[in-house]
Amino acid sequence: MNAAMPAPVAVVTGGASGLGREIVRRLHAGGHRVAVADVAAEAATALADELSVRGPDARAYTVDVSERAAVERLLADVLADLGSVEVLVNNAARTQARPLLEITPDELDEVMRVNLNGTFFACQVFGTRMAEAGYGRIVNIASLAGQNGGTATGGHYASSKGAVLSATKVFARELAARGVTVNAISPGPQDSPMVRDLLGDGLDALVAGVPVGRLGSMRFIADMVALLASPDAASVTGACWDANGGLYLR
């Protein structure tokens, strides 16, 4: 990138903790100005403040992605503060371990509104802006559960992530001719607090069933995001990159 040009801007939803935090750190370390977007305002602010003292600008934004108006405000605020947006990472997600046949209508709606609707709205809102600018990189965080029907993280979660994979394809097809790529990453079980909390005593049994014999690395997933978010990734769109330890082969 030309030294005279401002650093590119990356927006990461659900960026204040877990995998989102790793993605924020990776993109920031790679030279992006980063918008940490999350419902957890204090955590987002703490992360943004930490990063800003040792690199490009990082700012926190409070947003509930399940509301399209909130996503529109997020875009407007990022443009007002940072001037552009080149990268969007749709990472915000709601997970709820619940027996499949006991999921209530309200629980289904809550998970779908965040995981599917939030991703769809952001692809619409930010994708429109990127298409107008003639350039953009969108990376959607899907899941192994959306590919193999796993219910350990909730059947409604798995269903929502399967829908994210379909949304990735339709937005990729729509935006390809205007310089915007849209891709997905489907992680398997990661070495994360969320996975450990969800599985509890069942963690050892899960690891034993993973062909490579270990949980995935959130830092590696963040590296995958950075690669798909780079200008050099122009020929990759509508793809899903798997990182599941051999649990799902295709």
Q: Which of 61, 135, 157, 248 is the catalytic position?
A: 157
DSSP string over 64-82: -TTSHHHHHHHHHHHHHHH
157: annotated active-site residue: yes
Contact 155, 100 (CB under 8 A): yes
For 67-144, where are the alpha helices, taking DSSP H only?
Answer: 68-82, 105-112, 118-133
- Tell me, what amino acid is at 14? G
Residues forming the active site: 157
